[in-house]
Copies of this chain bind each other. A is one copy, B any other.
Amino acid sequence: MDIHDIHNISTNCTRTEFVGTAVLDTIGLVISGVDDSLFKKMNVGTQYHCLGLFSSRTGAAGQITAIDDAVKATNTEVLSIELPRDTKGWGGHGNYIVLGGNDVSDVRHAISLALELTNKYAGEVYISESGHLEFAFSASAGPAIHKAFGTPLGEAFGFMAGSPAAIGLVMADNAVKSAAVSITQYMTPNIGTSHSNEVIIAISGDASAVKAAVLEGRQTGLELLIGMGTYPEIPGTPYL
């Protein structure tokens, strides 16, 4: 290809690796048989040469929740979850997730399902001039949520992140005071994040308690973020 003919490339991608896209600059891809020399560098075990790839510029918890449901519904496994420092100039994370499976159609189906669910589960992202908030909830944690946030399998999972970081801590405090939940993960700019400007907690417990806690955190976070002077944009569709 002459690089000057770049506009000859269609936005309707027909490559075999391409599965699709979703909100928040999310792309889903498959590799039916990964190159051996590359595979050795990847450090994702040796079982699966058929890989599903999923990544976004913005957000992590919603997409991991989507991957979690997708893996539960298909014959696939989560091989790695990484959280780059991204969000297109904002203070948070994106995500990069690798799945494995024995069958390319299983893996493709898992990625396709995760993209579809991302349009739902990544709905709880709020971005203003001053900062951002992210929330997620699942009634029953599967292997992706367990791997990323330490939530016991089968327990309800709640997630909240607030930026600037101080907002995240007050959200967390009000959330855990409001219902009988346990903190399974606690992250700050120096602890567990990729130096994002967030305080993040993941919580577990009874589904109704976890959901109530997330809603309490959301209310707190929205009031504080809006108190910084501007209303947030909501790039997805809130579902909680």
Given that A38-B201, A82-B188, A176-B37 are known contacts, is A55 also in contact with B165, CB under 8 Å in the complex?
yes
Known: A27-B130, A42-B186, A84-B189. 20 other contacts (CB 8 A): A11-B226, A13-B226, A13-B227, A17-B170, A27-B167, A29-B224, A34-B173, A38-B176, A53-B169, A57-B131, A57-B197, A84-B196, A85-B195, A86-B197, A89-B90, A91-B94, A96-B164, A96-B188, A96-B197, A98-B169
CB pair B164 A15 closer than 8 Å:
no
CB pair B170 A31 closer than 8 Å:
yes
For the complex formed by this chain, how many copies does it contain in all? Answer: 3
Given that A38-B172, A197-B84 are known contacts, is A130 also in contact with B166, CB under 8 Å in the complex?
no
Assembly CA distance A176 to B40 (angstroms): 13
**Partner pick for A227 among B11, B38, B166, CB 8 A cutoff:** B11
Residue numbers of A with Cβ under 8 A of B are 1, 3, 6-7, 9-13, 15, 17-18, 21, 25-29, 31, 34-35, 37-38, 41-43, 51, 53-57, 82-86, 88-91, 94, 96, 98, 129-131, 163-167, 169-170, 172-173, 176-177, 182-183, 186, 188-191, 193-199, 201, 218-220, 222-224, 226-232, 234, 238, 240
CB pair A164 B224 closer than 8 Å:
no
Q: Closest B-chain residue to A97, C-beta based?
A: B166
- B residues near A3, Cβ cutoff 8 Å: 218, 234, 238, 240
Assembly CA distance A196 to B96 (angstroms): 11
Q: Closest B-chain residue to A26, C-beta based?
A: B164
CB pair B166 A29 closer than 8 Å:
yes
**Partner pick for A231 among B6, B42, B222, B224, CB 8 A cutoff:** B6
CB pair A231 B7 closer than 8 Å:
yes
Given that A89-B88, A196-B84, A196-B85 are known contacts, is A25 also in contact with B164, CB under 8 Å in the complex?
yes
